[in-house]
């Protein structure tokens, strides 16, 4: 896990990380949750790290909304709304 966290930390500050032992996965597959302090850091890390080689295998990076709080989801939606308003006003 240490190497994985170090690699993801290149994209921004990490708030939390832990192994998800009970998460459904294929045999011989480990699942980890990495939560960034900044949403844009998480988006960049997902885009850059998905399908990258890691210790002889490929990483599969995906969004896990089931681990978000209602407040985190609300904040993301507000940020998105502000972005859309700003973008459409400039046109």
Per-residue pLDDT of 17-54, as tens digits, reads 999 988 888 888 889 999 999 889 999 999 999 999 99
d(CA 73, CA 77): 6
Assigned superfamily of 2-64: RRM (RNA recognition motif) domain (3.30.70.330)
Cα distance between residue 11 and residue 7, in whole Å:
8
Q: How far apart are CA 79 and CA 63, in angstroms?
A: 17
Q: Is the pTM of this model over 0.85?
A: no
CA distance 31 to 19: 6
Determine the pLDDT at residue 57. Answer: 86
């Amino acid at each position: 896990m240490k190497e994985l966290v170090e690699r993801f930390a290149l994209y921004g500050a990490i708030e939390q990380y832990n192994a998800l032992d009970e998460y459904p996965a294929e045999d011989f597959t480990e699942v980890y949750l990495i939560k960034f302090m900044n949403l844009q850091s998480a988006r960049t890390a997902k885009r850059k790290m998905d399908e990258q080689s890691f210790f002889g295998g490929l990483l599969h990076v995906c969004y896990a909304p089931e681990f978000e709080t209602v407040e985190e989801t609300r904040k993301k939606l507000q940020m998105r709304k502000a972005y859309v308003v700003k973008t459409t006003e400039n046109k």
